[in-house]
Structure 1
Amino acid sequence: MSETILPELPQELWRAGKLELAHGVQQFLQVMRVASAGLGQYLAEIESRGVKDLYGYGTTISWFADIAGLSMGEARPYVNRAIDLNPTRALDGTEIPPFAPATGAAAAEGAIGAERIKQILEILRQIPAEVSVEDREHAEAKLAGLARDAGPRQVSDLGEQVLGWLDPDGKEPKDPEPAQPRRELTLQRRKDGYWNLKGLLDDEAGARTAAALEAYAKPRPVDEFGQADLRTKAERQGDAWVDLVDLAIACPDQPGTNGYRTLVHVTIGLEELKTGLGTACLDFVGTMTAREARLAACDCLMLPVVLNAAGEPLDVGRLRRFVTPGQRRALNIRDRGCTFPGCHRRPKNCHAHHIHHWADGGPTDLRNLTLLCSFHHRLIHHGDWQVRMAADGLPEFIPPQYLDPLQRTRRNTLI
């Protein structure tokens, strides 16, 4: 094993130029790789001599885990990689050649690191046993040579070409029928009222989910006031998930909802419902603000439990203010999407909003309804924007004074 000299570390890194920083990273990276390869040579030699005779341990993995302060699972890859890349000896002293000698040579030079080594070994293990030694060695030499200068994608592509050349028929399927894809999903409510969503999807379902989220999680375009979408990617994907759930619930064939939006039970005081101040009990398990209840009431199938001041139910289980499918179709044709100025969301992504809220006596008819996407629906309920129906029967919006001191009415010209 060649001697490796550690690069000199500048005393004040902040004075270093960009080339010096880059060269320092490259030097230390090579030192780390060479040191890892040297460690592997030691571990292979210990495996050859017998760790039980040397140190009294049952396996090299358990010994290395003990001295390195690692778990058995963490130590196993080090030892297995060392045996794959370096020659060992049998009990009679005969040498056992390494599984991947060309890869081991590249690792010893510091040309490739642990991730590329793992990738090459995984490809080599897919080569059928009946392939000749010469072909196998040639394939490994190609992979190890490419890995010196290329990234994971190029190595993977070459691996596919090699396997296609050495094993054109592929592996014989073990099962006559494809296995059921593994898909898991858990949804758990936390004490603070938020919900934890965790899941595991097979490759096909994951790709479809990612495509759907990407389509709905695009940043909102800058509006006419120059306000950009400041949500993080995770926040945009969270909002996209809600949009997809709303879209699924609104499907006419959706079991249990018959194409109407979410069915919720809300327990709320009459005054809280009218004023939007206070809290409400949601589905008997959580809480929501009265303002959120007013927002949800615009386009949800609600079973309200309205209480008087003494806490006695005034109205239990009667469906209220609910937009019919015919009204929804008429809204889709008239509004053609979210009517907020500058918004481009289509009807399927919108809620039906009561301009004069139904809790305040507003009727559920087309003259009192307009389509709003979830973001602008919340903005109308919680912000300073106002919406009203103009004389021509179309909705128009009044911006807050801090955006337009004259508060000139605006309409969506994109739909």
Structure 2
Amino acid sequence: MVEGLAQAEAAVLGCAGSATWALPEQELIAALDAAHRIEQRLAAVKLAVIRELDGRGTPTAQGASSTAVWLRERLHLTVPTARRLVELATTLDTGNPAIRQALADADITVEQARVIADTVDTVQTSAGTAAADKAVGLLVEWAGQFDPTLLRKLGTRILDHVAPDIADAAAQAALDAEARRATRDRHLTLSTLTDGRLRLTGTLDTETAGLLRAAIDPLTAPTGPDDQRSPGQRRHDALADVCRLSLRTGELPDHGGDAAQIVVTTSYDGLTRQLGAGTLDTAFELTPATVRRLACDAAILPAVLGTTGQPLDVGRQRRLITGPLRRALVLRDRGCTFPGCDRPPRWCDAHHIHHWADGGDTSLPNAVLLCGHHHRHLHHGEWAVRLGGDGHPEFIPPAWLDPEQVPRRNHYHRRT
């Protein structure tokens, strides 16, 4: 397989350098069709490989918390994209083999394969294997004419064609299956942009959508005739108000040892002189005006940093049950320190580099932040952790993964 893929890669690379401007229109169209077919065939191969790696447990053996996270790190994908690949690979492997073959034959696209797999699963549950086989053939035929959105709409009445005698009774089953898919597909993705802003994408189930609207709709009305905010800006500000109200209740659970809170790091002089910017624990900066506004309703925790950004002394804040060491770790590590992990500080535990049970002390040079998965992985796996010459954590992989055992670092969190 590897040799064949290498030959295919070389052939595609040769095409990539071709002068498309010199081709006549018909050849351009033919080239587009061929590239599209190759893309679907390669997708079938890629999904089969992902399924096999997932089944063998290779990603978790190499320290990843899931196959999706491993794919993100290796292929530089987003986690939602990687997760959808894993889910489809599993579906095509355990479902109707005709769907996988149709993709390999380039008769359908990856998105159409997802739609067909969902529809056939409903037919299988409602009408049995024979009807499911008929449904695959019919849906693959329709896929030659309709895009995934229309194909899904047509699929809602597929039983009228493959099992008309039970179509009405199965309609309710289809509705139930759609409700189960809605529960399965619910998600919210928070994507951090390069300037510190956050892009929210996701799909809410019906109940949660109602809760969100009930919470923010009363806060989205214009404040008066001079309110020039767009509807989208008013919804944004309403969500911020809901978050502030939640934080003020004091009823949110602790997160990673800290109470739910916003953490801003700034200099004392900058704060008092109204000139200094502040840094969130997500490593992004706030304007001096924003820092001053937040400081009006905040507890101040003093910290002294060395020239390399290392915390030298951290003051005490009695309401924090973890004390000053936790804050020092957050200032230094910014999040889970295991290579490739993007978990923020509030999702992390403090790990003793030299274990407490073996006589290790509780101090900054003997501690690192690790998310729950990587904390367990470090205790039960063959990885080792130490502080590098600059005082930041680095991890030594096991010899079976890297015979040279070159130290690795986490590059997802900004370093000072």
TM-score > 0.5, shorter chain as reference: no
TM-score normalised to structure 2 length: 0.38
Mark the structure with the bigger radius of gyration: 1
Flag the structure with higher helix content: 2
